[in-house]
A = this chain, B = another copy of it.
Amino acid sequence: MAENADLIALGREIRRRRKALGISQEALAERAGLHRNYIGFLERGERNPAATTVFALARALGVSAAALVADVG
Contacts and interface: CB of A to CB of B under 8 A. Distances in A.
A33 interface: no
Interface SS, A side: helix
A52 B58 contact: no
Nearest to A47: B51
A67 interface: yes
Contact of A52 (B48, B55, B59, B65): B48
Nearest to A59: B73
A51 B65 CA distance: 11
Contact of A51 (B50, B66, B67, B70): B50
27 contacts: A4-B52, A6-B51, A6-B52, A6-B55, A6-B65, A7-B52, A10-B51, A48-B50, A48-B51, A49-B50, A49-B51, A50-B50, A50-B51, A51-B51, A51-B54, A51-B69, A54-B54, A58-B73, A64-B70, A64-B73, A65-B69, A65-B72, A65-B73, A66-B66, A66-B69, A66-B70, A66-B72
